[in-house]
Amino acid sequence: MFTTALSAFVRQLNCAAGAIYFRRPHAFSEQPIAAIPRNLHHNMAAAMVDSLAVGTLDDARWQAFLATLPRREQPSSACFAYLFALGDLGLLSLVKYDCPIDTELEQMLRPLLIKLTEAGRACLQQEELTAVHRNILWERNMLRSLIDATPSVLFSLDAEGRFLFSEGRGLEAIGRRPGEVVGQSIFELYAGNPDILDKVRAALQGETIFGTVETLGRAYDVVYRPVVDKDGCTHGIVGAAYDVTERKAAIDTLTAVLNSVDEGIVTTDARGVIQMINAQVTNMFGYDQEALLGQPIWMLLSSGHQPDMTIADMQEFIRINQLEAPGFFLDLEGRKHNGRTFPIEMRVQSFMLGDQPRYTVSIRDVTERKEYDRLRDDFVSTVSHELRTPLASIMGWTETLLTEHPGPLNDLQKRFLNTVYASAVRLDKLIDEVLTVSRIQRGVLRLNRSRIEPSLLLADAQKALAPQIAARNIQLQIEDTWPSEQTLEGDAERLAQVVKELLTNAIKFSPNGGEVIVRSWLDGNAWRLEIEDHGVGIEEEELPLVFQRFYRGQAARKAQIQGAGLGLYVCKAIVEGHQGKITLESQPGVHTVARFWIPIKVIPEGD
pLDDT digits over 337-352, tens only?
998 999 998 888 888 8
pLDDT for the residue 149: 73
H/E segment holding residue 210? strand 209-215
Instruction: Answer yes or no: same fold for 2-129 and 261-365.
Output: yes
Task: Band the pLDDT of 562: cuts 50, 70, 90.
Answer: low
Q: Which fold has domain 2-129?
A: Beta-Lactamase (3.30.450)
Find out whether 87 and 117 touch, Cβ atoms under 8 Å: yes
- Burial of 142 per CB tally in 10 Å (0-12, 13-18, 19+): exposed
What is the architecture, at CATH level 2, of domain 370-442? Answer: Orthogonal Bundle (1.10)
Class of domain 261-365: alpha beta
**Please, which residues bridge with residue 95 across strands?**
17, 81
Pairing verdict, β 79-86 and 515-523: unpaired
pLDDT given at position 326: 43
Domain at 150-247, CATH homologous superfamily: PAS domain (3.30.450.20)
Better-scored residue on pLDDT, 280 or 443: 280
Q: Render 237-275 in DSSP notation, one character per residue.
A: EEEEEEE-HHHHHHHHHHHHHHHHSSSEEEEE-TT-BEE
Class of the CATH-defined domain 450-599: alpha beta
Q: Identify the bridge partners of residue 358 per DSSP, sorted by sequence position.
A: 351
pLDDT of 327 above 60: no
99 or 305, which is more confident = 99
Lowest mean pLDDT among 166-170, 236-240, 382-386: 382-386
The whole-number average pLDDT for the span 5-28 is 85
Distance in angstroms (rounded) separating the CA atoms of residues 529 and 543: 19
Buried b (16+ CB within 10 A) or exposed e, 86-98: beebbbbbbbbee
Q: How confident is the model at residue 328 (pLDDT cuts 50, 70, 90)?
A: low
Q: pTM value?
A: 0.44
What percent of the chain clears pLDDT 70, i.e. is strictly above it?
91
Q: What is the mean pLDDT of residues 416-421?
A: 85
SS3 for 463-508 is: HHCHHHHHHCCCEEEEEECCCCCCCEEECHHHHHHHHHHHHHHHHH
Mean pLDDT of 483-488: 88
Give the model confidence (pLDDT) of 142-155 as tens digits. 877 777 777 788 89
Average pLDDT over residues 504-508: 90
Q: According to the model, what pLDDT value does residue 321 have?
A: 63
Domain range list for the chain: 2-129, 150-247, 261-365, 370-442, 450-599
Segment among 18-22, 172-176, 265-269 with least mean pLDDT: 172-176
Condensed to tens digits (0 to 9), the pLDDT of residues 530-561 reads 999 998 888 888 888 888 877 776 766 665 56
Whether pLDDT at 307 is above 70: no
Among 74-83, 186-195, 428-437, which is the least confidently predicted range? Answer: 428-437
Which contacts qualify for 314-320: CB closer than 8 Å, 24 or more apart? 314/268, 314/269, 314/270, 314/271, 314/272, 314/348, 314/350, 314/357, 314/359, 315/270, 315/357, 317/272, 317/348, 318/348
More confident residue, 266 or 429: 266
pLDDT at 517: 94
More confident residue, 421 or 525: 525
Give residue-wise pLDDT tens across range 519-536: 999 998 999 999 999 988
Mean pLDDT of 281-290: 90
